[in-house]
Protein backbone atom coordinates (compact mmCIF):
# COMPACT_ATOMS: atom_id res chain seq x y z
CA UNK A 1 0.00 0.00 0.00
CA UNK A 2 1.30 3.44 -0.86
CA UNK A 3 1.66 6.33 1.53
CA UNK A 4 0.76 9.83 0.32
CA UNK A 5 1.92 12.90 2.22
CA UNK A 6 -0.21 16.05 1.94
CA UNK A 7 1.49 19.46 2.28
CA UNK A 8 4.76 17.97 3.55
CA UNK A 9 7.16 20.25 5.35
CA UNK A 10 10.49 19.97 7.09
CA UNK A 11 8.96 18.86 10.40
CA UNK A 12 5.68 17.22 9.42
CA UNK A 13 3.00 16.73 6.80
CA UNK A 14 -0.41 18.36 7.12
CA UNK A 15 -1.92 14.92 6.52
CA UNK A 16 -0.86 11.41 5.56
CA UNK A 17 -2.98 8.97 3.57
CA UNK A 18 -2.47 5.23 3.93
CA UNK A 19 -5.03 2.95 2.35
CA UNK A 20 -8.45 4.51 2.81
CA UNK A 21 -7.49 6.36 5.98
CA UNK A 22 -6.24 9.93 6.37
CA UNK A 23 -4.33 11.06 9.45
CA UNK A 24 -4.29 14.82 10.05
CA UNK A 25 -1.62 16.63 11.97
CA UNK A 26 -2.76 18.60 15.00
CA UNK A 27 -4.84 21.63 14.03
CA UNK A 28 -4.80 24.75 16.19
CA UNK A 29 -6.31 28.22 16.19
CA UNK A 30 -4.50 31.54 16.42
CA UNK A 31 -2.51 32.36 19.53
CA UNK A 32 -4.26 34.84 21.78
CA UNK A 33 -7.81 34.17 20.53
CA UNK A 34 -10.34 32.90 23.05
CA UNK A 35 -11.05 29.17 23.30
CA UNK A 36 -14.20 29.28 21.17
CA UNK A 37 -12.50 31.22 18.38
CA UNK A 38 -9.46 28.93 18.46
CA UNK A 39 -11.76 25.91 18.30
CA UNK A 40 -13.67 27.30 15.30
CA UNK A 41 -10.43 28.19 13.48
CA UNK A 42 -8.89 24.76 14.08
CA UNK A 43 -12.06 22.97 12.96
CA UNK A 44 -12.16 25.10 9.80
CA UNK A 45 -8.64 23.83 9.06
CA UNK A 46 -9.83 20.26 9.59
CA UNK A 47 -12.59 20.97 7.03
CA UNK A 48 -10.03 22.40 4.60
CA UNK A 49 -7.61 19.48 4.83
CA UNK A 50 -10.36 16.88 4.65
CA UNK A 51 -11.82 18.56 1.53
CA UNK A 52 -8.37 18.65 -0.06
CA UNK A 53 -8.04 14.86 0.26
CA UNK A 54 -11.63 14.13 -0.75
CA UNK A 55 -13.10 13.46 2.68
CA UNK A 56 -15.50 15.26 5.01
CA UNK A 57 -16.20 15.67 8.72
CA UNK A 58 -18.95 13.04 8.40
CA UNK A 59 -16.13 10.55 7.70
CA UNK A 60 -14.12 11.30 10.87
CA UNK A 61 -13.41 8.12 12.76
CA UNK A 62 -11.58 9.53 15.77
CA UNK A 63 -10.71 12.92 17.23
CA UNK A 64 -8.30 13.68 20.04
CA UNK A 65 -8.68 17.13 21.56
CA UNK A 66 -6.01 18.74 23.70
CA UNK A 67 -6.89 21.76 25.85
CA UNK A 68 -4.27 23.91 27.52
CA UNK A 69 -6.74 24.26 30.41
CA UNK A 70 -9.34 21.55 31.00
CA UNK A 71 -11.51 24.25 32.60
CA UNK A 72 -12.28 25.29 28.99
CA UNK A 73 -13.99 21.93 28.37
CA UNK A 74 -17.56 23.20 28.90
CA UNK A 75 -16.95 26.36 26.82
CA UNK A 76 -15.36 24.43 23.93
CA UNK A 77 -17.98 21.68 23.71
CA UNK A 78 -20.83 23.78 22.20
CA UNK A 79 -18.52 24.84 19.33
CA UNK A 80 -17.55 21.21 18.74
CA UNK A 81 -21.17 20.04 18.92
CA UNK A 82 -22.31 22.69 16.41
CA UNK A 83 -19.52 21.64 14.02
CA UNK A 84 -19.69 17.83 13.99
CA UNK A 85 -22.04 15.93 11.73
CA UNK A 86 -24.76 14.96 14.24
CA UNK A 87 -25.56 11.80 12.30
CA UNK A 88 -21.91 10.69 12.37
CA UNK A 89 -20.19 11.72 15.61
CA UNK A 90 -16.65 10.34 15.85
CA UNK A 91 -15.03 8.59 18.75
CA UNK A 92 -13.45 11.39 20.80
CA UNK A 93 -11.09 11.89 23.71
CA UNK A 94 -10.22 15.17 25.41
CA UNK A 95 -7.28 15.85 27.66
CA UNK A 96 -5.24 18.66 29.12
CA UNK A 97 -1.72 19.32 27.87
CA UNK A 98 0.81 22.08 27.53
CA UNK A 99 0.51 23.04 23.86
CA UNK A 100 3.33 24.10 21.51
CA UNK A 101 2.98 27.84 22.16
CA UNK A 102 1.82 29.67 25.29
CA UNK A 103 -1.13 31.39 23.57
CA UNK A 104 -2.63 28.18 22.19
CA UNK A 105 -5.66 26.82 24.01
CA UNK A 106 -7.01 24.11 21.64
CA UNK A 107 -5.57 21.43 19.38
CA UNK A 108 -7.39 18.63 17.58
CA UNK A 109 -5.95 15.54 15.91
CA UNK A 110 -8.23 13.74 13.47
CA UNK A 111 -8.28 10.35 11.76
CA UNK A 112 -10.82 10.00 8.95
CA UNK A 113 -11.91 7.65 6.22
CA UNK A 114 -11.52 8.73 2.62
CA UNK A 115 -14.52 8.88 0.31
CA UNK A 116 -17.68 10.89 -0.03
Are residues 115 and 20 in contact, defined by beta-carbon separation less than 8 angstroms?
yes
Distance CA 22, CA 13 (A): 11
Distance CA 88, CA 92 (A): 12
pLDDT value of residue 116: 59
List alpha helices for the chain, DSSP H.
Answer: 35-52, 73-83
Parent domain of 53: 3-113
What phi and psi, each to the nearest 5 degrees, are found at residue 44? Answer: -65, -35
What total of structural domains would you count in the chain? 1
| pTM, to two decimals | 0.94
CATH of the domain at 61: 3.30.1330.40
Say if residue 73's pLDDT is above 80: yes
Q: How many helices (H) and strands (E) does the chain have?
A: 2, 7
Amino acid sequence: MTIQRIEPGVRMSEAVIHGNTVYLSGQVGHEGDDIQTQTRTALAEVDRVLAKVGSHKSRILQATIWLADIADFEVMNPVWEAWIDPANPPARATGEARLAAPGLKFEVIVVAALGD
